[in-house]
């Protein structure tokens, strides 16, 4: 368990980055849908897909946070 802190840091940074990117992308698409008077089906699908990625990244972020807390005990 020599490198546990280092590994936790790498995984935390990676999942945080993925979370922030997916959150920002979902927000951009949501704003675009709201600003468009007649959004296309493709735009809705992109927004839906980006929301799914945002949720997936959120779950990964939470999982890493819980694992890190567990290992700190």
Tokens standing for residue 29: 């698409």
CB 12 within 8 A of CB 62: no
* H-assigned helices in the chain: 4-35, 41-72
CA distance 20 to 49: 16
Q: Tell whether pTM > 0.75.
A: yes
pLDDT tens sequence across 26-66: 999 999 999 999 999 999 999 999 999 999 999 999 999 99
Torsion from C-alpha of 30, 13, 62, 54, nearest 10 degrees: 20
């Amino acid at each position: 368990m020599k490198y546990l802190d280092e590994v936790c840091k790498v995984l935390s940074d990676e999942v945080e980055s993925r979370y922030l990117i997916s959150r920002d992308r979902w927000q951009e698409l949501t704003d675009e849908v709201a600003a468009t008077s007649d959004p296309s089906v493709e735009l809705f699908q992109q927004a839906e897909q980006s929301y799914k990625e945002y949720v997936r990244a959120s779950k990964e972020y939470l999982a890493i946070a819980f694992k890190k807390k567990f290992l700190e005990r």
